Structure 1
Amino acid sequence: MKTPSGGGKITKRWLDFMLSEHEGEEQPGTSVDVADFSVNQGIPPGEGFNSELVLVDATAKVTKNGVEPEEKTYRLAAKFIHPDPFSAEFNRMFQSLTKEYLMYSQVVHELNAFLAARAPGETAICIPKLIYGKDQGKEYVLVMENIRAAGYSTNDKRKGLDVEQVMMTVKEIAKVHAVSYAYDKSHNFLEKFPCFAFRPEGINAVRAFTSASLKGSSEYLATVEGKEELARKVGNSRDILMRKFNTLFEDFGNVCLCHGDFWNCNIMYKYHQPDGEEEPTTLEGLKLIDWGNSSWQNPMFDLQYLIHTSTTLEVRKTHIEEILQSYHAVFTSLTAKLGAPVTHYDYKAFREDWDRTAVYGFILGSILTQGTLSTTNPASKTREPSVLDHAALTPVRLLVNGLKTGMAKVIAPKIAGPNGAKFMEKFLGAILKPVKKELLSGTNQVLNTRLLELLCEADEKGIFDE
């Protein structure tokens, strides 16, 4: 059956088919008859760039082996190709949706099977359960359990992760890194899943975002008393930072599967709420979500990304050693248990790698802080109704969308090409003007504080120096 093109196209007939396929995997011949369903937007505007996410609640009658049907409620999360032509084209170029589909349908399953066979006492890698998936040309859907309905939630990005959350999170990503590293030694991960190979074209986007964010940061620092010299240094640091950033990809080998977008809103936590208590008190689990940017890289990049995008300076200053020691202990002990020990990599060597990759943490941290904590980010604005939404104008809407798709196919390769950074710098400079204006206004204390902390911390580490 043809896959719906988006949440608005979901029908009872498709839900009957999809859920019957799902139930039939466990018990062939099972049929599902949906009695009622609802479809709602899964995330706020601006929170998702790789796909369209919707939440589907359905009640149905499930018939197995011809016996009396049982009523069942499904709480689902479904991902479709992003309706924006430019987002869709970039996802196609970088195979973002394909990688996420493979993560849920094959990769994590294989990694967990490998883990269970060699270290049966270890817990499995935690991601939402796959219900149904399809990735065939223009037909794409990924249906998972809605873990929010099971009690999982994302942390408030404006607060940042606390120490308990960070400790649990780094242990989980250390497991992903360790298992994929060990698996590769006997199975050759990239030979089986070549789409996860690192794509250097993505560095162009980082270079462009860096230029745009440094300009805003420099102008903001110039308004902060006592930071005039730092403002000058930051304003002149673009070439220095990019040389250091590029060197990381020359000096560090790509050794394991990395999440690639490992920050606060791509981790969902579950808390235990004791009887009689009004608020949950004990952190009991987590699940890692949104794997579209995953690739085969150096694990230090995931760790730097998480710490510098999702924690406050207080957490970094006070707890960084215990956080890093926890990661190192899990990674080295698990790789050894899986038969692939990492030799000559004691904590001292690991700590040196952390210090050498600090520029990665600063660059991605400063970019994401401005992009996600600003209240004026254009991507976060709700789409207003358009005259083209009228059914009578469907042919016109299709024509306009076709023209947008054509433009995207022309522009996207140029952005990914050798001169793409210059093109993107102009584009980003224009759309990020509201973010810079908010920075300079001082009205968003969380944004200004977190960015100032990152800038001062980077200066203390000498990141802006030759």
Structure 2
Amino acid sequence: MKKSFESASVWLTKEYFETILRKYKKDSNLTVTKINSSSGTSKGESFISTLTRFKVEFLLSNNKVPQHGFYIVKTDYEGDPVIDKYMRKFDVYNREMLMYHQILPQMTTLLRDIGDEDKLFADTIHVDFERSAIIFEDLSPSHFVVADRIAGMDEAQTRLTLKKLAKFHAAGAVLNERMPDVLTSLQGGFLRRTNHAFEPFHQGMIEACANFAYGCQELGPYYKAKLLKLKEHIFEYSVRCYDPKESHFLTLIHGDIWSTNIMFSFESNGQMNGTKTVKDARLIDFQFSNWSSPAVDLHYLFNTSVANELRINKQDELIQHYHSILADMLRRLSYAGHIPSLHELCVQLEDRRFYAFTAAIVNQPLQTSENTDDADLKNLTESSERSRNFCKVLYSNPKVQNITKTMLPFFDRKGLLDVTD
């Protein structure tokens, strides 16, 4: 736990970077000659952390030519009492520090041991437990950019993301066999029975959706009545989707896998009208990683970040693509447990499909909003006139309305709008 709220600008000095880079570069005589910093967080992109970008110029002991390193320092919001009140209960800082310090590097080792050099995430440079700070590779200078949360990912981007996610899930399952009780102790994502912080937002969004449905010619009173009856149950039904079930294939899931937590690099297609082809991807942000079914990640990804046409017409094909990589990686990594068949994975997806409803109706309107002025933690955790107006505004987005017109009848046919025991 963080011992004080000392501003990061006070301790992120040349001497600090010199100490950590000497260890990271394995050069005890490395000297830092210059550092430059800039903000790495924009409004609406992060509710719980502060990102600061650093360009560090340094000299290795055997080289007179300066080298440059590009790093991101991730810290909590410095002394913000509202954010601290909620996030300490989630223990997100300690969880993500564990991920960057121990779990992600060991996943990388697992893959490299079988000759797989595919990078799934940024390299960890240093984890400072005293200051609740994580320092990792800045991907932006390598021309990685965050996925387009407004447009949604196209098929090539989706397939590449599913490939990375399948490897992440496979490595997590195998790592659990080698680190008993470490990964399984990571229970609960940002929805959990012991912390109802986001329940007001879930209920507010269901009410906003119900009101939109009532005034929509294609939907109408039928959907409003069902949604309002479901409102009091939305949080518990969503949490159930996280529950580890003994009969299911379980692993370490990302827990917050949507557009802004995926970065892509592209290559130009030359004379082809200036278009670009996706080349590589990295997963970022692991503060909500937890032990659960991969179905949670898959439903969340498809219903927040994938282009609607793909979600409707190609989801089964893309799930099959994911499964083929997952099964292959589990075999290559010598997984001792049962490797789920495609049918077994689909059964898990159906069992936890309510999370697709939650992601599409509650999360996607927030994550595709072009107006982020009111996207703050208070509107996600409090029940007030301001937060209700915020939910109403999110449902005024024509894109959200069009998706809702398509998806609500689908979810209703699946029985997901019915209140059950």
1:111 aligns with 2:107: yes
CA contact (8 A) 1:158 1:446 kept: no
Separation in structure 2 between the aligned mates of residue 148 and residue 425 of structure 1, nearest angstrom: 29
1:215 aligns with 2:215: no
Counterpart of 1:145 in structure 2 is: 137
Q: Residues 344 and 76 (structure 1 numbering): CA distance in 2 closer, same or farther, change over 3 Å?
A: closer
Counterpart of 1:132 in structure 2 is: 126
- How far the C-alpha of 1:219 sits from its partner, in A, is 0.7
One-letter amino acid of the structure 1 residue matched with residue 288 of structure 2 = N
Higher relative helix content: 1
CA contact (8 A) 1:336 1:342 kept: no
1:354 aligns with 2:349: yes
Counterpart of 1:386 in structure 2 is: none
Counterpart of 1:459 in structure 2 is: 412
Q: TM-score, normalised by structure 1?
A: 0.79
CA-to-aligned-CA distance 1:191-225 (integer Å, 9 cap, x gap): 4x676233744662454332111111001111211
Counterpart of 1:448 in structure 2 is: 401
- How far the C-alpha of 1:245 sits from its partner, in A, is 3.6
Counterpart of 1:122 in structure 2 is: 116
Q: Secondary structure at the match of 1:80?
A: strand
Counterpart of 2:365 in structure 1 is: 370
Match of residue 65, structure 2, among 70, 76, 90: 70
Separation in structure 1 between the aligned mates of residue 23 and residue 334 of structure 2, nearest angstrom: 37
CA contact (8 A) 2:219 2:405 kept: no
Match of residue 225, structure 2, among 232, 249, 254: 232
Q: Residues 32 and 426 (structure 1 numbering): CA distance in 2 closer, same or farther, change over 3 Å?
A: closer
- How far the C-alpha of 1:7 sits from its partner, in A, is 4.9
CA-to-aligned-CA distance 1:237-268 (integer Å, 9 cap, x gap): 22454564454455734821111111111000
Q: Residues 236 and 281 (structure 1 numbering): CA distance in 2 closer, same or farther, change over 3 Å?
A: same
Counterpart of 2:296 in structure 1 is: 301
Structure possessing the higher radius of gyration over alpha carbons = 1
Separation in structure 2 between the aligned mates of residue 180 and residue 425 of structure 1, nearest angstrom: 30
One-letter amino acid of the structure 2 residue matched with residue 216 of structure 1 = A
Between stretches 244-253 and 298-307, larger displacement belongs to 244-253
Separation in structure 1 between the aligned mates of residue 243 and residue 73 of structure 2, nearest angstrom: 38
1:91 aligns with 2:87: yes
CA contact (8 A) 1:17 1:32 kept: no
CA-to-aligned-CA distance 1:146-173 (integer Å, 9 cap, x gap): 1011110112211111111111111211
Q: Secondary structure at the match of 1:303?
A: helix
CA-to-aligned-CA distance 1:252-308 (integer Å, 9 cap, x gap): 348211111111110001111256677452211100001111111111111111111
CA contact (8 A) 1:40 1:56 kept: yes
One-letter amino acid of the structure 2 residue matched with residue 86 of structure 1 = V
Separation in structure 1 between the aligned mates of residue 184 and residue 240 of structure 2, nearest angstrom: 24
Separation in structure 1 between the aligned mates of residue 381 and residue 107 of structure 2, nearest angstrom: 42
How is 1:119-268 mapped onto 2 (pairs within 5 angstroms)? 120-136=114-130, 139-188=131-180, 190-191=181-182, 196-198=186-188, 200-201=192-193, 204-205=196-197, 207-228=199-220, 229-239=222-232, 241-242=234-235, 244-249=237-242, 252-253=245-246, 255-268=250-263
Counterpart of 1:272 in structure 2 is: 267
Q: Secondary structure at the match of 2:87?
A: helix
Between stretches 291-300 and 339-348, larger displacement belongs to 339-348
Q: TM-score, normalised by structure 2?
A: 0.87
Match of residue 435, structure 1, among 370, 390, 393: 390
Q: Secondary structure at the match of 1:213?
A: helix
Counterpart of 2:42 in structure 1 is: 44
Separation in structure 2 between the aligned mates of residue 274 and residue 207 of structure 1, nearest angstrom: 46
Separation in structure 2 between the aligned mates of residue 127 and residue 332 of structure 1, nearest angstrom: 21
Q: Residues 276 and 34 (structure 1 numbering): CA distance in 2 closer, same or farther, change over 3 Å?
A: farther
Q: Residues 101 and 211 (structure 1 numbering): CA distance in 2 closer, same or farther, change over 3 Å?
A: same
Q: Residues 453 and 204 (structure 1 numbering): CA distance in 2 closer, same or farther, change over 3 Å?
A: farther
Separation in structure 2 between the aligned mates of residue 447 and residue 102 of structure 1, nearest angstrom: 36
CA contact (8 A) 2:241 2:296 kept: no
Counterpart of 1:21 in structure 2 is: 20
Separation in structure 2 between the aligned mates of residue 363 and residue 290 of structure 1, nearest angstrom: 21
Over the residues paired in the alignment, what is the CA RMSD in angstroms?
A: 3.1
CA-to-aligned-CA distance 1:318-355 (integer Å, 9 cap, x gap): 11111110111122222222222553732222212212
Counterpart of 1:312 in structure 2 is: 307
In structure 2, list runs of 5 or more residues that go unmatched.
none
CA contact (8 A) 1:260 1:302 kept: yes
Q: Residues 151 and 426 (structure 1 numbering): CA distance in 2 closer, same or farther, change over 3 Å?
A: closer
One-letter amino acid of the structure 2 residue matched with residue 47 of structure 1 = E
- How far the C-alpha of 1:63 sits from its partner, in A, is 4.3
- How far the C-alpha of 1:432 sits from its partner, in A, is 2.3
Separation in structure 1 between the aligned mates of residue 24 and residue 8 of structure 2, nearest angstrom: 24
Separation in structure 2 between the aligned mates of residue 291 and residue 243 of structure 1, nearest angstrom: 23
Match of residue 291, structure 1, among 266, 286, 289: 286
Counterpart of 1:54 in structure 2 is: 52
One-letter amino acid of the structure 1 residue matched with residue 107 of structure 2 = L
